[in-house]
Amino acid sequence: MIEVRELTKFFGAVCAVDRASLSVARGEVVGLLGPNGSGKTTLMRVLTGFFPPTSGTARIDGLDVQTHSLAVRRKVGYVPEHVVLYPELPVRRFLRFAADAKGVPRARSRAAIDAVMAACGLVEMARRPIRKLSRGYRQRVAIAQALLNDPEVLILDEPTVGLDPRQTVEVRSLIRTLAGRCTVLLSTHILPEVSMLCGRVIIIDRGRIVAEDTAARLARRVEDVARTALRVAGPREQVIAALAGVSGVDRVEAVEEGTAPGAMTELVVVSREGDGVRQAIAALVVGRGWGLVELRPIEPTLEELFVRLLGSERQGAADA
């Protein structure tokens, strides 16, 4: 559905996107993940036909964004990063403009506007000028306008940035409901968001695509050890010594001296293999008569993954 080949975009001497290639299949939800200034917005603006690339090609549904710009723009719904919209227009009025501009047929336009307003929870805000809406509602209006022409591709640039936690949850669930209907490419620098919403992650840094996989597989790629968090009610030194003796355990890291009454011992156990070692640990702790308060596998977070991927990438670049 989205095909990007060797796409490069310069602004003067600054290279914003550097030979990026990616492809997104129909119906996929793909996250574009990268720090601020990594080229996410530039890439999206090329895809939406806002400006052309310096070199390389981008196609949406087989149509080149440069040579078939109007046709591409008809297929794409776009939510830009900083949604300000037209402050003086009431919500419904703005959506009517968007419907007309996107060529939604007159006969269908009223129903289409009603449908997106209902989907985005805007019905009671219909007559309110956009400047009087909260940040969360403005975001919904921005998403509503993007949905108006039943887009085959939905491009969302940082859809949850600047929202409060409740609004973030609402916008995310809204995106999730759209996932079945269209192909979604969304950018974010909020890492858990990607694993929540996206089937696949494309990691971009300084204009270059550095990794591309499912969130889970990317995590496995950098994490080859299992880590287990442990809280035990028992004498600290003895617990550590006993755990180090369990077969399969590579290392036992003490988290910090517990100051709470009852002298809880908090540890992280690093082992090559996970579940078997955890069973052995549990049996050992219980067998010694200590209290097993908590035993929890530590999943590698996307933050760690991100730092490691970019770290090795930068290391590689420095070596070359």
Which residues lie near other proteins (CB under 8 A)?
A: 9-12, 45, 48-52, 54-55, 70-71, 73-74, 76, 78, 80, 82-89, 93, 97-98, 100-103, 129, 145
Residue with smaller CB distance to other proteins, 34 or 80: 80
Give the shortest CB-64-to-other proteins separation in angstroms. Answer: 14
Q: Which two tokens stand for residue 40?
A: 């996410």
CB-nearer residue toward other proteins: 102 or 200: 102
Provide the minimum distance between the beta carbon of 163 and other proteins in the complex, in angstroms, as a whole number: 17
Which residues have CB under 8 Å from 248's CB, separation 6+? 271, 272, 273, 276, 277, 280
CA-based nearest residue to 130, from 99, 96, 88 = 88
Cα 222 → chain centroid: 18
Q: Could you give the dihedral angle defined by the CA atoms of residues 287, 293, 227 and 199, in that order, rounded to the nearest 10 degrees?
A: 130
Beta carbon of residue 111, minimum distance to other proteins (angstroms, whole number):
18
Closest separation in Å from C-beta 28 to other proteins: 21
Nearer to other proteins, 12 or 287 (CB): 12
Residue 131 CA to residue 9 CA, distance in Å, equals: 34
Could you tell me if 246 and 218 are in contact, meaning their C-beta atoms sit under 8 angstroms apart? no
Report how far residue 95's alpha carbon sits from residue 28's, in angstroms, rounded to the nearest whole number.
Answer: 27
Closest distance of CB 38 from other proteins, Å: 17
Give me the least distance between CB of 240 and other proteins, in Å please: 57
Residue 204 is given by DSSP the state: E
**Residue 45 DSSP label:** H
* Residue 45 or 278 having the CB closest to other proteins: 45
Strand 153-157 with 14-24, pairing:
unpaired
The CB-of-152 to other proteins minimum distance in angstroms stands at: 13
The residue behind tokens 């996307």 is 302
Q: Which is nearer to other proteins, 47 or 191 (CB)?
A: 47
- Residue 12's alpha-carbon distances to 9, 54, 120, 221, 270, in angstroms, are 10, 11, 39, 37, 49
Q: Which is nearer to other proteins, 187 or 195 (CB)?
A: 187
Closer by beta carbon to other proteins, 51 or else 217? 51
For helices 91-101 and 106-119, the axis angle rounded to 10 degrees is 130
Closest residue by Cα to residue 153 from 5, 17, 23, 21: 23
Q: Are β-strands 208-213 and 55-60 bridged in parallel, bridged antiparallel, or unpaired?
A: unpaired
Closer to other proteins by CB, 98 or 219: give it.
98
Smallest gap, in angstroms, from Cβ of residue 44 to other proteins? 10
User: Exposure of 180 by Cβ count < 10 A (0-12 exposed, 13-18 middle, 19+ buried)?
Assistant: exposed
